[in-house]
Amino acid sequence: MAVDVRIPTVGESITTGTIAKWHQANGATVQQGDTLLTLETDKVSNDLEAESAGVLQILVDEGEEVDIGAVVATIDPVTAGDASAPSNEVEKPAAVPAPSQEPAGSEDNVSVSPTVRKFAQDQGVDLTKVEGTGRKGFITKADVEVALNLAKKGEGTRELTGFKKPVIEPKGSESRFTRKKMSPLRRKIATHLVNAQQSAAILTTFNECDMTAVMGMRKSLQEAFKVKYGIKLGFMSFFIKAVVEALKSVPSVNGRIDGDDMILNHYYDIGVAVGTERGLIVPVLRDCDQKNFAEIEQGIIDYANKAREGKIEFSDLQGGVFTISNGGVYGSMLSTPILNPPQSGILGMHTIQQRPVALNGEVVIRPMMYLALSYDHRIVDGKEAVTFLVRLKECIEEPTRLLVEV
């Protein structure tokens, strides 16, 4: 009896996902524990493994969005003595029988996933007139797209067999733009940012800091740091420790609004924005006030590796009290970062530039960085925001303060 391959629950509040990649071909023989597919959700990516050995029959194409719990494939068990057991080579798809000349009937009786059914409805395709090439005539998204391609023969407005409504394709549109469905993560980011703008009174204040002392300390200690800890000393650990000191000095920035209540946090879990191929994620470094520089740097490296491999977990992204975003690595000179709700503050770091500054009555060239603090004005006053940045600036320009916490 065939075993269904279902999309598992991957996290609270996650109801759908997209099949980012099939790691096995349709008709391939798989073993228990083999990776079948990568599921991409609006928060994390997960690999789904085969629960039994057998022949894989894929029902849902790569790139389609599916509901949690949906059946996306089946595995037909193969016994050891079954001489007809297929190899790992891809089977040629069976010939699709000619469509019946009888009335197609209701779309409710068509074998198709809810996602493909909605796609067909949005495009005006009559599923009863589409030939399914999937298992037992299952209609895939590719089958619907084949029907849609028929509309591209000719110009202007056409009424084609299999369509409930006219399909309008401007002449030459294929060469002028590309339409691509947003990934779940990108849709989540878009929704999150719009909600942040609409639900908080966001204001940004700026300052700048002289990076001479930090750069000098980093250079002088780099070799010893690498020998002792096996990793490099970066700038981010300095800024995370400086943010902790600034949060201690201005507790309101380490707070949030919950209904009519104001909640002040007494812990320092700092989120660090990380850019990935899928989009921006913000993993959280826990208890940064209790970590040393090496532990912070190692934590950043671990998250970067997990993000690159698509192994970030839902729990890695929860519970931060403040966020740091370093646009300077991409060359950004100045920006106004958007809050990461329900947090009340986010720090924007920017590129380091050699600029002329006045020092002791003289103009000198120093490595300078602009800092931007976006905050929720409902809970943080302007004076507190400025005080926060001034304290941060002090800790960066005199990093020895971080050692004695003054």
How far is it, in rounded angstroms, from Cα 128 to Cα 111?
10
How far is it, in rounded angstroms, from Cα 277 to Cα 45?
12
Q: Annotated active-site positions, please? A: 377, 381
Distance between start and end Cα atoms, the chain: 70
How far is it, in rounded angstroms, from Cα 98 to Cα 283?
53
Q: Do β-strands 202-210 and 255-258 pair in parallel, antiparallel, or remain unpaired?
A: unpaired
How far is it, in rounded angstroms, from Cα 147 to Cα 289?
59
| Residue 24, token pair as written in the block | 């096995």
How far is it, in rounded angstroms, from Cα 188 to Cα 144?
27
Q: Which 3-state string (H, E, C) describes the chain? A: CCEEEECCCCCCCCCEEEEEEECCCCCCEECCCCEEEEEECCCCEEEEECCCCEEEEECCCCCCEEECCCEEEEEECCCCCCCCCCCCCCCCCCCCCCCCCCCCCCHHHCCECHHHHHHHHHHCECHHHCCCCCHHHCECHHHHHHHHHHHHCCCEEECCCCECCCEEECCCHHHCCCCCCCCHHHHHHHHHHHHHHHHCCEEEEEEEEECHHHHHHHHHHHHHHHHHHCCCCCHHHHHHHHHHHHHHHCHHHHEEEECCEEEECCCCCEEECEECCCCEECCEECCHHHCCHHHHHHHHHHHHHHHHCCCCCHHHHCCCCEEEEEHHHHCCCCCCCCCCCCCCEEEEECCCEEEEEEECCEEEEEEEEEEEEEEECCCCCHHHHHHHHHHHHHHHHCCCHHHHCC
